[in-house]
Amino acid sequence: MFSLTPARSAVLQALADTFIPALPDGSPAGSTGLNLDKLQEAIREQPEGAQNEFSQLLDLLEKPLLGLTWFGPLKPFRKLEPTQREQLLQSWAASNVPQLRKGFNALRKLCTLLYYGGSMAEVPAAWGRLGYPGPDEKPVDSPKPIRTLHPTEDTVYECDVLVIGSGAGGGVVAGELAEAGHDVLVIEKGPYCHGCDFTQREVDMLGKLYDAKGTLSTQDGSIGILAGSCLGGGTTVNWAGAFRTPDYVLQEWAREHAAPHFTTLEFKESLNAVARTIGVNTNYTRHNGQNQALWDGSTKLGQEVKLIPRNEKGLTDSDSHFRSLGYTTLGDAHGIKQGTLNTYLLTAFEHGARILADTKVDRVTISQGRATGAAAVHTTADGRTIHISVKANRVVVAGGAIQTPALLLRSGLKHPHLGRHLHLHPTVVVGARYPHAMNSWHGPSMSVVNDTYTMLHGTNFGAKLETPPTHPGLLSMVLPWLSGKQHHELLRDADHLGSFIVLTRDRDGGRVSIDKNGMPLIDYTLSDFDRANMLEGVRAAAQIHVAAGAEKVYLPHSTLPTLLTKDGVLQNPEVLDKLPHLSWKPNQFGLYSAHQMSTCRMGGDAATHPLKLNGETVEVQNLFVADGSAFPACSGVNPMLTIMALAHFTAQGLKAGRAIEAQAVALA
């Protein structure tokens, strides 16, 4: 397991001071308040191979041989002059050696996130220099409406249905089945947070609410992956967009994957049912700066824009509600967002379901080809680990498209397509500086969408243009780093920055496998086809920024190509034209995913689809999957509502299955 020796700690302090140097304006250096404990915790969440790599990287930085990596002096990193340290990092960022680019980006992201997303709060007025007001006011403490289990010793539970995961998939299944009278036990890997547990500080909440403490990534380090890991799962931390699955996608799934139920009235009724339960609406009245820019720029170019349906209730146009909406990606402290935490899980609890948080399932237990329960480990409030055994008649896995296939592989399933066909909706950020304050960290993170580019060149593939959260920690990771001074100056403009995301519906997928310890390994390389569609979206986003009045547009490449405007006219269009001709190797540009899908896909051909149409695995009876991993291919839209609808549809089948079993017993 990775450990921070004194030497490694000193190297990290020096790295932080190089990525974020002290400046004449009084801004402190990056090592000021750098929380090395949180850094160590994040590294320990990685697979063993990644931990070893990071250890080797820090140890290399302590050796004179380091000079060979950049043709510089044969000195350890700490013995170099500040300018030399910066030159070394710049050379790694531009290196043709993939491991050096990977190392640079891993160090850069960790140092900048910990500083801008956490440590700055401890430095007087530091956030103020960015124009960032800091987290919303602390809400009044209130009792937790769900009472979770708190075992203190090794325990055996028995239930009718074991649901593993509590997000858009697991939460819905639990609520539907418990309300129908089933004895349900929900196991969640992450914690149960409510109200004032949501501190709205980025580092704290990423560490508490997201898988791998917010540092999940592909094996080559090129794609950062955001996946909820708390009670309520992704619905607790997502951006509240509640998109209906496009008809052309449902038709594609039905046609190409022999899954006709996606175009039935019954599936549409499931979509309607979950939309009602989570209060989907477009009743909000205000946009933040960047959403208004997406609306204004698109409209000026003659492109259609739409309001994004969101699952929030009780909103007013008050300043307090508007401000608080900007923080719900870090957990909604005010109960406005209607994720499963406030809807289906609450229903499940009120109908007798037991809920066990802070518990990692090691494997599903299987006997004679049937699922019989699970073996898990629970972490108590005082940090002890105790063993949990569950005996269940049916098991529903809903851990998300990374953890679900990993669990099934650990449990001995061997379907050749299990873990394959990983889709990520690979996403890049196109930022811009506006002459007026944008304050895009307030208001709904995403309230406007441009769908002009979703079906490019006569295909079902393309890109959506939306907007992301823009708190300083995430901004610091997304904005390219050319030097400490340059990067800090970009962040100093944070209150004038507006960002659009280009969310690509990827045709070509990746894979989830497991290491010798059963930890998930994620492999994904953006294909030429998908990159071409992404870059068309980047060009469109840049042009919309220009039309909306941006002064500068920052294109998403590590060399930071920058567009300049005057009176709404682009002054250097050649920079945009050259974009596709840049090198787009892994870690030469920032790529992210908040949507993971299709690693345990459902379909009519058992040879190529690990799931039957009712959600049951082909290999094991009474073992079901109900999350985004069951999608035949990616949804092309933010997937929450589609996952919930598929889980709802699967739950109706589970109810009917028990009724049929009961009839058979009665007749016997």
Q: Report the sign of the C-alpha dihedral through residues 31, 36, 40, 42, in that order.
A: negative
Q: Indicate the DSSP class of residue 260.
A: G
> Measured between alpha carbons, how far is 404 from 602 in angstroms, rounded to an integer?
14
pLDDT of residue 319: 87
> Measured between alpha carbons, how far is 346 from 355 in angstroms, rounded to an integer?
10
Beta strands in 380-436 (DSSP E): 385-397, 420-422, 427-433
Residue linked to tokens 């501190």: 199
Nearest to 430 by CA among 472, 457, 470: 470
Domain at 157-240+243-277+334-421+598-667, CATH homologous superfamily: FAD/NAD(P)-binding domain (3.50.50.60)
Type of residue found at 144: K
Query: What tokens appear for 430 in the block?
Result: 């196109």
pLDDT of residue 148: 98
Mean pLDDT by 10-residue block, N- to C-terminus, for the chain (668 residues)? 94 95 80 86 94 96 96 97 98 97 96 83 64 77 93 98 98 98 98 92 93 96 97 97 97 98 98 98 93 98 98 87 89 93 98 98 98 98 97 98 98 98 98 96 95 97 97 93 94 94 97 98 98 98 98 97 95 97 96 98 98 98 98 98 98 80 44
Query: What tokens appear for 631 in the block?
Result: 């999608």
pLDDT of residue 26: 73
Q: Are strands 223-225 and 591-593 parallel, antiparallel or unpaired?
A: parallel
DSSP β-bridge partners for residue 377: 360, 387
pLDDT of residue 128: 73
pLDDT of residue 658: 60
Query: What tokens appear for 466 in the block?
Result: 């939306």
Q: Are strands 497-504 and 463-466 parallel, antiparallel or unpaired?
A: antiparallel
Residue range(s) in the chain whose domain bears CATH number 3.50.50.60 = 157-240+243-277+334-421+598-667
Residue linked to tokens 């390219």: 480
pLDDT of residue 30: 85
Query: What tokens appear for 357 in the block?
Result: 């948080």
Cβ-contact 440, 289 below 8 angstroms = yes
Angle at 162 between CA 161 and CA 166, to 5 degrees: 120
pLDDT of residue 28: 79
Helix runs in 137-185, H state only: 170-179
Cβ-contact 48, 56 below 8 angstroms = no
DSSP β-bridge partners for residue 284: none
> Measured between alpha carbons, how far is 446 from 559 in angstroms, rounded to an integer?
27
DSSP per-residue codes, 270-294: HHHHHHHHTTEE-------HHHHHH
pLDDT in tens, 204-256: 999 999 999 999 999 999 999 999 999 999 999 999 999 999 999 999 999 99
Active site residue 595: yes
Catalytic residue selected from 257, 287, 595, 609: 595
DSSP per-residue codes, 206-223: HHHHBGGGGT-B-TTS-E
Query: What tokens appear for 640 in the block?
Result: 């929450």
Coil, helix or strand for 82?
helix
> Measured between alpha carbons, how far is 2 from 4 in angstroms, rounded to an integer?
7
